Amino acid sequence: MNTPYNYVYRAPKQVVEAKQPAIFLLHGLGSNEEDLFQLVDSFQTNCHIFGLQGPISHRPGYAFYTFVEEGKPNQEVFDQVVQVTRGFIAEAMMHYEIDPAHIYVVGFNQGAVVAQSLALVMGNMVRGTAVLSGYLPEFVKLEYVKFPMDHSHIFISHGEYDYDYPVSWGQDSAAFFEEHGANVTFKLYPDGHGVTPQNLQDLVSFLAGLMPATNQA
């Protein structure tokens, strides 16, 4: 693939004649392209899975964008990242035997911010988006072109005691996507900025409920 991204690709363990679903993983600040595979272990039999590495070095790992203030993206950088990530997904669909009706994006922290923005600009092209401890920047809500999301499903999870991204940010995102026609599942957990075992279980259930029957965990 001709992409500026460094990434890890894991092919479906069970190869069939039909095209198979794809999951794209976007890590959090300071992490790397391997980080989120553990969340989708149960889908590795029948799914193409891509772990993308943020393009910016940020110890001990990488970032997808820089900040103008704590938690708030630099818009010029962020716009480019959203564009390049959307292009990555489109190119992957051309190079691999991916079912275009079953595209999924999972993101945590910064990756969740990018994932929500992709849900907006890709609309129904993305069947399921799972965003863990993220939010939707104000400039994305106001300025990005919004595509129909009436067949798109979005899972938004947040910790009650998240002091990195206040819980109100997650609630605002859920309300925004509901207003724009998406099928939204919002979950709140007694946690900080992380993923609890119950959060993981709910994430897996969300994805499994959207997958073809042969892919369900």
Q: Which of these, 42, 44, 107, lies nearest to 81 by C-alpha position?
A: 107
The predicted model gives 195-211 an average pLDDT of 97
User: What is this structure's pTM?
Assistant: 0.96
Number of H helices, E strands in the chain: 5, 11
The predicted model gives 175-186 an average pLDDT of 97
Torsion of CA 1, 123, 27, 112, to 10 degrees: 160
Model pLDDT, residue 215: 55
pLDDT above 50 for 216: no
Model pLDDT, residue 217: 44
> Over the range 27-43, which residues count as b (16 or more CB within 10 Å of their CB) and which as e?
bbbbbbbebbbebbeeb
